Structure 1
Amino acid sequence: MLYAYDDNGKLSSLYQLSKEHIEQLKKEKTYFCPTCKESLQIRSGRLHTAHFAHFPSSNCERKHLGESEYHESGKWLLYQWLNRQGYDVAMEFFLKGTNQRPDLFFTVGDKRIAIEFQCSSIPPDIIEKRTQSFHDAGIFPLWIIGKNQYRQKGKHQLLHTSFHRSLMYRFHNNFMMYYLDVKAQTIIIADHIQGASTTLCYATPRFYSLKSFTFPQLFTSASYPSFSYLNIWKKSMYHLRTTYHRGVGSEERQWRQYLYLKGKHFTLIPSVCFLPVPSQSIYHMKSYMWQTRFILDHFLDKPIGDVIKNEQKVRCTTINQYQADPIHEYILLLGKLGFVEKVGSGEWVKRKEIQFPTHIDQALEEDKKVMDFLRSETNVLL
């Protein structure tokens, strides 16, 4: 481990200390494990980063955790960052109500905060379980992802798997994620996140040095995204219509088969079956797949004037407990486009038919009309 308590009760680290300084500490100081309080030894050498270690006879649970140097370095950086701002921070403090040891724990006023620095990809259900236990104990969980999980595919395009989707927040009407670049000692805020696919998203990344950045600034947001999601939507729709991909996943193959059995082709879905809803970034299914199913299963066979009910209960939840309903957002957009009209709580009346294009040129022309309408709606993605 890279940090331990010294004999004065001060949390200390060997991180980035000189060889001479470390040799001096071996002679002058005694160090203790933050978890079990047993005495530790200092190990250093040419082939290893200097660190604290338990003696062979120890049974401390921490001895078997096998945390990476990157993870420990990141926790130490965050500890120092918060400590410099005057926060009374505890590392790996055991929370009885949750039976967990968050990487960092501190209070701001009457709010208790647990920080988890997550460098490895873990299943979303584990994240959900740990997050819920914090909420149940009245603790705000702040998950910060390691820079090793930050994969930029283009200027505004990021890797966005189920792991990433499970670690998103919503502040100021925007979806956000937090990363820590340990080497550069920089916080990265991925802001204005919009879902592109099950593995990619678009975002405005903001970079801040820990030397000049404060904890409250984590929860601010850029006024506007530095990219046009509508332009991205247009390109994605054009790509879907004009480029055939044989090697798609099982979910998409099932969707194509579903359309085939309905007498439809996936390149000729209506433009309104691929609308950019705000919470797509935390929904596990591609937008054109679930929207097409909604139109075919709940809209197309109903006559004008019939009631359209939002009977599909899809709830996507962020870490800070924002409940998103992508289907409700989608129906709102259909309302803006004049296909439905709201008549009651959760009930809409069908006002206009949705036609499936019969050829590509017709589909592309429809895409342009829908695009022009969405551009005229300034808050369409909020």
Structure 2
Amino acid sequence: MTQLDPEQDDGVTAILVALRHMGLLGPGEGARLTPLTGGVSSDIHLVETSDRRLCVKRALARLKVAAVWEVPTGRNAAEAAWMRQVAHWLPDGVPVILGEDEERGLFAMSFLPPERNPVWKALLLDRIVDAAFAARVGADLGLLHAASAREAGLAERFANDATFEAIRIEPYLIATARAHPDLVGRIEAIAARTLATKKALIHGDVSPKNILCGEKGPIFLDAECACFGDPAFDLAFCLNHLLLKGARRGVPRKAYRDAFEALVNAYFARIDWEDRADLEARTAALLPVLFLARVDGKSPVEYLTHEDEQEAVRRFARPLIADPQQDLIAIANAWTRQ
């Protein structure tokens, strides 16, 4: 583990100053900072002192992707607020916020050792597909949406539409529409409806890379896009990744399809804030757009490297965007048969 020298790194200096400001580091107390990998939107460091370990996360103004992608750094505050709020409903489902420095755009949270909290994405890529865990993700996501839909005041506290549009709608939906001009009208209509729908507190990035397989169940990370919006986006965003993991060469799709169904069933068992058919229809319309976005949007997945894999995604997604399906399980079944 490398000791970073604060005299040679302005970012580390800012973190140390913030830690002292938050009361997490005493005057003159040293700390070892180790950069952690896994995200494109923030710098994350493991901080080790003489008696504790914690994480510090600082939002970047420009994301670490090939395309130019600049976003507001104030999203750090939204993420910390989302974690604090969710802790009331699902205390084991989020890291503990230890401190926040909004002026420097960062916050500190508990460190979750990877040997006891593996990243769900890594397991899925290794073909370790646990339908029971997918059901836990669906149930917990449904619980969060249901609880937030019933709680007054969240729409005002999480009115983060500008960030959600900059980080999710533009790079995923609008950028994909530009790559497929014949589908522009349809995709823009889906984008407009998603932005206009305000029903629950959403995470905005429910991806397996942001879910740990904790000892007590799923742990949700990276809620930078949190806002009061359309729960269909969270559901579609997560289900999309179960389809995508099965788009790789030589990967049997049935296991991912079974996890998809388990997540859907567990999620819909929690619905009490709106009509299931309406929510499922919005999710089913978003799903193929997000599927296509991960090959032709601003943030393509790194594991579909072959042209035939990417073309398979395009062949499947484009007709579903033009003529949306209403049934999520039917979409998963159709993809499994491809």
More strand by share: 1
Greater relative contact order: 1 or 2 (C-alpha under 8 angstroms, separation 6 or more)? 2
TM-score over 0.5 (shorter chain): no
Which of the two has higher C-alpha Rg? 1
TM (normalized to structure 1)? 0.26
